[in-house]
Homo-oligomer: A and B are copies of this chain.
C-alpha cells in the first residue's frame, strides 16, 4: 500500500480513515449481512445512513431549518439546467457572474435553454485571474436569482466575500470549496456542489435550497430535476446514489471528529499559506491569480515555459506528487489541496518545487 499525494482537481483524495472504514465494511455492513452497495434504499439500515449523512452535513455547515438538503445525481452540470428550470419562473429573468469556465457553462446553458439571462460581470478579458468586483446595483432588481461559482477550480480563484445581492436570491456552485471552511448558508438562496472534490466519490450532487424557492418550477420540466419533488421525497423519488451518500456520511463523520469546519479551515489555510508564501518568495514560478482572489483549494502556477511546465508535472509524478498538470484549457500547473490533502503533501510539493527550480535554470 504505497499511497501517493494526489493533487487532482476532482475526483480527488479522500481521507485515509474514510477509505479504511469503507474497505473494512464493504462486504458486510454492521450486522446487516450485506454490503451498503446491496441495500434497498427503503430499508431501515439504509434510511439510517442517509438520515445521518443529512444530520451531520446540517451540523457541519450549520444549515438553517428553512433549507432543504437534497442528495442528487448528475453533477453541477445538471444543476446548470436545473437552476433556471426551478427558479426563473419567479420573475422570468436571471443574472450571472462569469468568473471562470464552469460559471460560463452555467450561463451558456441558461442561454441555450432560451431564458432571459445576462452576464452581469466577468473577468474573462483578464483570463479569469480575479473575481470581478460586484455591487448590489449591478444586478437587475427583478432578477429571479444571481448565479455565481464560489471557487473556480480551473483558474484557482475564489470570492473573498459573499456578494451582496440584496433581496435577490444568490445561487452558488460550491463544488470545489464546499466543506473547506464555515460559510453563512443563510446568505444564499441555493448552494449546490458536485461531491467529488471535498465530499465523496463522483456521482453525488448536494443541493441546499431555501424552502420558499421551491415553488417556481417549470411545470413541464423533467421531474428528476425538480428540487421540490426531491425535497418532498427525502431525495428518494427514485433510487438515490446510495453508496456514494454512504461515503459522504463517512467524510462528514471524519470532519466532525477533527473539530468541524472551523478546524478544517485552519488546516486548509496553513496548507495554502505554505504554497502561496513560497510562490511569493521567489521569481522562478509565477502565480497568475490576483492575491485578493486566491483560492485556498486550487493553487495555480506556471514557470512561463511550456516545456518546463511539462517536465515539472512529469518529474513531480515520478516523485509521488501526482496530477499537478494544469487544466488543458489553461496549461501550467495546478495543485488542488482539498481537505484530504495532508500538510505533508504540500511540504513535499514545495521541497520539490525548490529542487526543480535549482536543477532547471531558465535560459
Contact = CB atoms under 8 A, between A and B. Distances in A.
Given A6-B33, A203-B244, A224-B75, A27 B39 contact: no
B23 A27 contact: yes
Contacts of A40: 8-12, 323
User: Could you tell me the dominant secondary structure of chain A's interface residues?
Assistant: loop
A119 B63 CA distance: 45
Contacts of A242: 11, 196, 201-203
A262 B1 CA distance: 38
State how many copies of this chain the complex holds.
Answer: 2
A14 B1 contact: no
A112 interface: yes
Contacts of A182: none
Contacts of A20: 27
Given A196-B239, A239-B194, A322 B34 contact: yes
Nearest to A34: B6
Contacts of A32: 4
Interface in A40-66: 40-41, 43
Interface string A300-343: 00000000000000000000101100000000000000000000
A222 B220 contact: no
9 contacts: A8-B43, A13-B34, A23-B27, A33-B320, A73-B78, A196-B242, A202-B239, A202-B241, A203-B242
